[in-house]
Structure 1
Amino acid sequence: MSSTINDRLVSLLTQLALATDGLGAGVVLAFFTIQAWKNFRYTSSALERIRHAKSVTISDLRSLLIDDNSSQTQSDKQFVIIRGLVEAKSVVDGSWKNLMPSSSSSSSIGNSGGLLVSHQSGAKGVVLQNTQTCVYNDIKGLFGYAFDFRSLFGNPLRGQKTLSLSTIPFVLVQNGDSKSPDSTDYVFVNLEGSLHPLPLTTCYHHLQPIPTTPYTLIQAIAGYTYPVGLLDEEKILPLGKEITAVGHCTLQDGNPQINACKKIPYFLSDMTKDQMIVHLVSRKKILFWVGIVLGSVSLGVLGYSLTRSWQRLKEWRHRRQIQHSREEEIANLDATTEDNRADEETEDIPEGQLCIICLMRRKRAAFVPCGHFVCCYRCALSVERDSAPKCPLCRQNIRTSVRIYDS
């Protein structure tokens, strides 16, 4: 049922895109062009901010923030890049007993500051994410192709569902200080309000096959996608992992705290500052050329569509003018016919001069280009108004007729 709805949706979108000589496709390409240029500006701004951001060691961070607060509260110097090791906040607080994992078999927080423990692999960390992903087949059927159109408009990982995401307070400490319980050089990581991806490490990976049914065989023959397995994954942010934090750093209750910045695509990352710059430069170039190509194609499609629409408008106006002139000719003919009706009705018309169509009126019109003089003017106009006008005598295609007057 879902595949049928997707097929109909794609068919409708295709018809809308190709309507009016590609106007819909041009509008869609223009929309993607605008999105590409928005991402280009966003990436350029993020690249400049990261280039000018200070790479501060955790030991120097407290003194830097104190100096900033004494001079100006909101300064660009507070946007910093820090690299350190992940450690539970209970370590720097001295609550070493809280580091003991809970005896529960499921992922849990032992107590107020305990570690998160994977119930599958036993890995310990400060962030634990459990996801399940439904894996679909990609085999061509007998009557179609198992192509997932939903991947064009959404997340390519179909059916992904995050079952749980657990976090405990954690900090970044300078390399070499994680084993020292008396060290006070740390920065607290505030994940509140952050939608940035986390540098998690996969600690458990299991693919469970889904049993097939007779309905699955019908789906395979018809070429529709169907689930073949359920992928269960657990990812964790382990203790002691070296990561980079990018964001605004402030003093909260005398302790440094770093918060995510919405204008930057990174918050916590495995990459260093130089690697981030290289990645952003590459992304900036790709977005620039994508915007150029999509913009050129969209302008070409829109130009072609507007040109075709203008030509159709001109043709429609020309047909209207021809129709209007024909209506005037018919009106004049009716007036002339009314004036000459009495003479024609009383006049004795020889048998060879009668119209071969109505056999009532005198021959008055000749067809062009054949030149046959066989109809009255009214019947000649009726022949011209046909979709494929032909001479009633020789059956040759005609363009128009000429009224013939007696001398």
Structure 2
Amino acid sequence: MTSHEQALVSLFSQLALSFDGAVLGLALAYTAVRSVLKLTANSAALDKLCAAPNLSVSDLRSLLDSSDSDGNSQNKLVIVRGTVEAKSSVESGWKSLRPGVLVSNESGDSAVAIERSQTCIYTEWKGFFGWTSDIRALFVRNLRQQESSSLRTVPFVLIDGGRRSHADYAIVNLEGSRHPLPLTTVYHKLQPTNASPYTFLQALFGNQYPVGILDEEKILPLGKDVYAVGICYYRNGIAEIKSCKELPYFLSELNKDQMIVELTFKSKVLFWSGIILGSLSIGILGYAFMRNWNKWKQWRQQREAQQQRQVNHDDAEFENLVNEMDDVPDGQLCVICLMRRRRSVFIPCGHLVCCQGCAVSVERNVAPKCPVCRQEIRNSVRIFES
């Protein structure tokens, strides 16, 4: 596990366990909802795939002609088995003089699609100061692209395999398709990179540095038998197949039965994962809700008890204040407010001339002085009668 992955796992574990697992429960609930949505889309794709006719390229014209005679739309979802062939080989006229194919640089095979990719492999050693990479991985993303790929395609068609005549063919339309192509690997080589003087410093401080480049080339060769799952329609009198976004397949090496088996297995996995994850999320969210509810009630009780103690303290203070204001002789009244009994003695002069509240007010002055002798005071002490 790389340093970036370790830092992410540590961060996600702390987030998941926060709020007594409420975040983990929400994440599981989100995953369960995603599983249900994927199950719905997968089930719809499975129904469409089961209803789609499985035929050859030569049967497309009769199928589309019969649907047109019934008054239905010519666009129809079909599963067509055929052989990959260059479009120039079936065209007539001056266009057929152009080769219209791609040639692999490594194997020399003719193809209609070539994908060349280079993957940079980095070291996972953290070095002597590898802990810095965990902190850096949280805030700094690696701006260097670790994988670069290029895909070149040319127009191609599907024909019936083993036939010399190309009277019946179907054009494959790749526009807007994000489905993977059934490519064949023809070149695979790992080339080590030369170390530089800067590499030692990178390794010392735990920075990742490249150790090799994986060069691959994949092609879609001519003459390969594939199955096309898509919308078939006529354009200028020629059958054309376009991918369907609702289906996970377009060009594949799997036949109809294998596709149905694979989608059925995925549907079962999504169904049970939705049930299991949904049950876990409900349990974790219920546990987190009860825990936080009990904590909130405990905090509320503590706050009410604290407020009650504060009210009792204020009542006691008010009662003492009232007692100090009742029946106080003139000689014992505070010289400042003339309402409460003298209770505080100023230090160091020792005069008992103020109540506690007025003594505190005198102490808060910038230059506190005794109201009788005008001597500077440091603090005051309350006197209690036994």
TM-score by length of 2: 0.74
Farther off after superposition, 225-234 or 135-144: 135-144
Are 2:286 and 1:303 aligned? yes
Contact preservation (8 Å) 2:87, 2:100: no
Q: Give the structure 2 partner of residue 258 of structure 1.
A: 241
> Does the C-alpha gap of structure 1 residues 7 and 183 become closer, same or farther in structure 2, counting only changes over 3 Å?
closer
Q: Percent identity?
A: 46
What pairs up with 1:4-403 in 2 under 5 angstroms?
12-74=11-73, 78-94=76-92, 111=98, 113-138=99-124, 159-162=146-149, 164-177=150-163, 180=164, 182-213=165-196, 216=199, 225-341=208-324
Q: Offset at 1:264?
A: 0.3
The one-letter amino acid of 2:19's match is T
**CA distance in structure 2 between the partners assigned to 1:345 and 1:13 by the alignment:** 69
> Does the C-alpha gap of structure 1 residues 166 and 57 become closer, same or farther in structure 2, counting only changes over 3 Å?
same
**CA distance in structure 2 between the partners assigned to 1:123 and 1:230 by the alignment:** 24
**CA distance in structure 2 between the partners assigned to 1:56 and 1:74 by the alignment:** 19
Q: Offset at 1:115?
A: 1.2
Q: What SS is found at the alignment partner of 1:56?
A: strand
Task: Quote the RMSD (CA, aligned, Å).
Answer: 3.2
Q: Deviations over 1:4-35 (max 9, x none)?
A: 87766665544433322222222222222222
Q: Offset at 1:326?
A: 0.9
The one-letter amino acid of 2:67's match is D
Q: Offset at 1:159?
A: 2.1
Q: Deviations over 1:264-313 (max 9, x none)?
A: 00000011111111111111111222222222222222222211221121
Q: Offset at 1:250?
A: 0.4
The one-letter amino acid of 1:176's match is G
> Does the C-alpha gap of structure 1 residues 337 and 118 become closer, same or farther in structure 2, counting only changes over 3 Å?
same
Q: Offset at 1:343?
A: 7.8
Q: Give the structure 2 partner of residue 106 of structure 1.
A: none
Q: What SS is found at the alignment partner of 2:319?
A: helix
Q: Deviations over 1:310-342 (max 9, x none)?
A: 112111210121022112201210122123336
Q: What SS is found at the alignment partner of 1:82?
A: strand
Q: What SS is found at the alignment partner of 2:106?
A: coil
Q: What SS is found at the alignment partner of 2:259?
A: helix
Q: Deviations over 1:223-245 (max 9, x none)?
A: 66543211111111001100000
**CA distance in structure 2 between the partners assigned to 1:26 and 1:344 by the alignment:** 68
**CA distance in structure 1 between the partners assigned to 2:298 and 2:74 by the alignment:** 64
**CA distance in structure 1 between the partners assigned to 2:36 and 2:128 by the alignment:** 42
Gaps of 5+ in 1: 100-110, 151-157, 347-359, 362-407
Gaps of 5+ in 2: 138-144, 330-342, 345-386
Rg larger in structure? 2
Contact preservation (8 Å) 1:90, 1:96: no
Between the two proteins, the alignment pairs up a number of residues equal to 321
The one-letter amino acid of 1:335's match is F
Q: What SS is found at the alignment partner of 1:196?
A: coil
TM-score by length of 1: 0.70
Q: Deviations over 1:143-177 (max 9, x none)?
A: 77999xx9xxxxxxx82221x21111111111211
**CA distance in structure 1 between the partners assigned to 2:40 and 2:219 by the alignment:** 33
**CA distance in structure 2 between the partners assigned to 1:198 and 1:281 by the alignment:** 22
The one-letter amino acid of 2:159's match is V
